[in-house]
Amino acid sequence: MQEKQINHSHYQLSYNVYGKGTPVLLLHGYGEDSQIWKNQIDYLASHCLLIVPDLPGSGKSIITAKGKEEWLPNLRIESLAHSINELLITENIAACIMLGHSMGGYISLAFAELYPSKILALGLVHSTAYADSDEKKITRQKSIQFLEENGGHTFFKASMPNLFGKKFKETQAAAIEELIEQSKAFDTPILVAYTRAMMLRTNKTNLLQSALFPVLFVAGPEDIAAPLTDVQAQATVPIKSYLEIIEGVGHMGMLEAPQQMNQHLSRFIHLIP
């Protein structure tokens, strides 16, 4: 494993590189860092050149004082996609497989729209190409208000358990509590900026429709953030589409069912020449 860092005037992007072969990027979601993939890294590293970043503002990837002043207030999903492009340029990678969880899926879609020639294949892991509905935007606004008044730890203490399926919540309470505890590391303005960026993202269904690359969808029947019915509808759109449903899980299949997740991701990676 190689631990690397890109220094930008607005942020420092930290990432780890494992293995060799076809380049594969794993992008984590909202309120997470690269360790959300901890159960996948060793397994997938034996199948590919695996690159796992912390998005700017998450984990070890800090946002600089200049970034907080100039970059963060206008943060969009596309801003995060541009930061991932810097990583590919630094690593001299012409094209990759990009697999994103939740918000990481939104970033993957934005990246594919901005840099289509750099995508070999795309994976939406508990994620969606749909934009927020009007109802969801209202919920995001309420989340922003709650974050500003109470902070990220209190927010995730209330919301994090709902992202898991019933069985995991009943048997793995300590694992959920660990994630909630890790949320203390997030600065509230960063979470607010992420939330606003998700709220303002656009519908990417047309991108799926015109995509020449394969698209993987991984879904959980108990997922309230990326409902199975939405994912199933989107999986009919791409020319080359693969849908994997992991029974009994919610929004966090990487933790809830790591063996099944590993098998689905590695099988998809092996489809790419």
Q: Which of 92, 137, 119 is CA-nearest to residue 215?
A: 119
Mean pLDDT for 25-49 is 97
Whether the per-residue pLDDT at 265 is higher than 90: the answer is yes
Position 23 pLDDT exceeds 90: yes
Give the pLDDT of residue 79: 98
Confirm whether 28 is domain-assigned.
Answer: yes
Name residue 53's amino acid.
P
State mean pLDDT over 242-270.
Answer: 98
To the nearest whole number, what is the mean pLDDT of the chain? Answer: 98
pLDDT (tens digit, 9 = 90+) per residue, 105-121?
999 999 999 999 999 99
Do the domain assignments include residue 39? yes
Q: Does any domain span residue 175?
A: no
Q: What is the pLDDT of residue 151?
A: 97
If one counts the domains in the chain, the total is: 1
Q: Is 72 within the bounds of a domain?
A: yes
Predicted pLDDT at 130: 98
* 257 inside domain: yes
Q: What is the CATH number of the domain that holds 246?
A: 3.40.50.1820
pLDDT of 273 > 90? The answer is no
223 inside domain: yes
pLDDT, mean of residues 38-46: 97
Half-sphere exposure of 98 (CA within 13 A, CB side): 34
The predicted model gives 189-208 an average pLDDT of: 98
Question: Is residue 149 in a domain?
Answer: no
Kindly compute the dihedral angle of the four CA atoms of residues 33, 55, 253, 218, in this order, to the nearest 10 degrees: -170
Condensed to tens digits (0 to 9), the pLDDT of residues 52-67 reads 999 999 999 999 999 9
Which residues, including other chains, have CB under 8 Å from residue 63's CB and lie 6 or more apart?
10, 11, 56, 57, 71, 72, 190
**8-18 pLDDT, tens digit each:** 999 999 999 99
- pLDDT single digits (tens) 203-236: 999 999 999 999 999 999 999 999 999 999 999 9
On whether residue 183 sits in a domain, the answer given is no
| Domain of 66, in residue numbers | 2-131+202-270
Tell me: the pLDDT tens digits for 129-143?
A: 999 999 999 999 999
pLDDT band at 41 (very low <50, low <70, confident <90, very high): very high
